[in-house]
Structures are given as structure tokens and as C-alpha cells.
Amino acid sequence: MLILFDIDMTLLETDHIGIDLLEAAGRELFKTAFTAEGIVFGGGLDPNIISDMLTNNGQQVTPENITAIRSHYHRGLAALAAQRPIARALPGAHELVNATRQHPGTSAIGVLTGNFPETGAIKLSSAGFDPDHFVINAWGDASKHPSPHRSHLPPVAIDAFKSAHQQPIDPEQVIIIGDT
């Protein structure tokens, strides 16, 4: 069995620090007001969230602009996490992860999340999770579709399992735990 966890509001919460950092990145890069107003974050993929923020703030959606905001966001989150915890585990989350890791029917655990890998790992670490325990992952930038969506991520995780274990997994043996 493959158990996949969402990160934000399933395993941990960050008090919206990511939103604040994305806004700050946009302000720094574009030297103008840059807000997340009107953006839906729940269930979103970080690349899409950045694209929506660029559009809503009158900036061009280009790979360069997305990469620049992503880099600023990562640096900002890493700097804050080096100073203080930026995430806290939700009640029972550590116990749930440990129980699934130790369950005899579990082949692997991982994440299926809209987060970028580098910022998702920082959040997990800050909340006291070992990111290395999550071995099969489908991150927010993993969809190869022209219009990425969260529903594209389960097949990514199934393919990652097949690559890591040299055998396929029946989709009926994949459990996704999350709030979206």
C-alpha cells in the first residue's frame, strides 16, 4: 500500500507565511504593490498560484517570472525557518505518519501536494517531520500537462512508486490523505 499525505492543513499549518512571502517576492521583483487578494490557495498548485498572482497583479506570466518568484519564496522561507519554526504539526499528525510507516501493509509513504519540493521540505522539517521518510512524492510542479491540476498528481506518484520499487502498484492500493 502507498500512503500519500497532503502537507498544508493535513500534516501542518504555517499561519499563511507562504502567502506573505509570495507577496513580498512580487513586491521586491516588480517594485510595485503585489497582493494575493482574490487568489484561491486551498488545493492549488504553487506554479498555478504564482501564475494567478502574476495575472492579478498585471505582470506577465512567463517561465522567468515564475522562476524568480519561486526562488525568492524559497530563499525567504529558508531564511525564516533558520530563525524560528515556520510550521507546526497539526494534532495527531506525527502519530498518524508514524503509524502508517510502521503498518505492515504499507510499502511506502509520500506526499501529494501543491507545494514545490524545496519549500514543502522546509515546511515538513520545521513542523518536526523528517522529509526523508516521505519517499514517493508528487509535488506541485510535477504535472506535465499544459494546464496543471492537482488531479494530475496521483499518476505521478504511481509512476514514482513503480520506478522506486521496480514494480507497479494497483491504484486501489494508493491512499491519499488530505484536506483537498
pLDDT tens series, the chain, 180 aa = 999 999 999 999 999 999 999 999 999 999 999 999 999 998 999 999 999 999 999 999 999 999 999 999 999 999 999 999 999 999 999 999 999 999 998 899 999 999 999 999 999 999 999 999 999 999 999 998 888 999 999 999 999 999 999 999 999 999 999 976
Write down which residue in 33, 60, 83 finishes a domain.
83
Q: Is 12 left (phi over 0), alpha (psi -120 to 50) or beta?
A: beta
Same domain? 94 vs 151: yes
Same domain? 7 vs 30: no
Q: Which three three-digit cell numbers place residue 126?
A: 520545521
Q: Counting every residue, how long is the chain? A: 180
Same domain? 73 vs 95: no
**22 with 46: CB under 8 angstroms?**
no
Same domain? 103 vs 126: yes
How many distinct structural domains can be found in the chain? 2
Same domain? 97 vs 173: yes
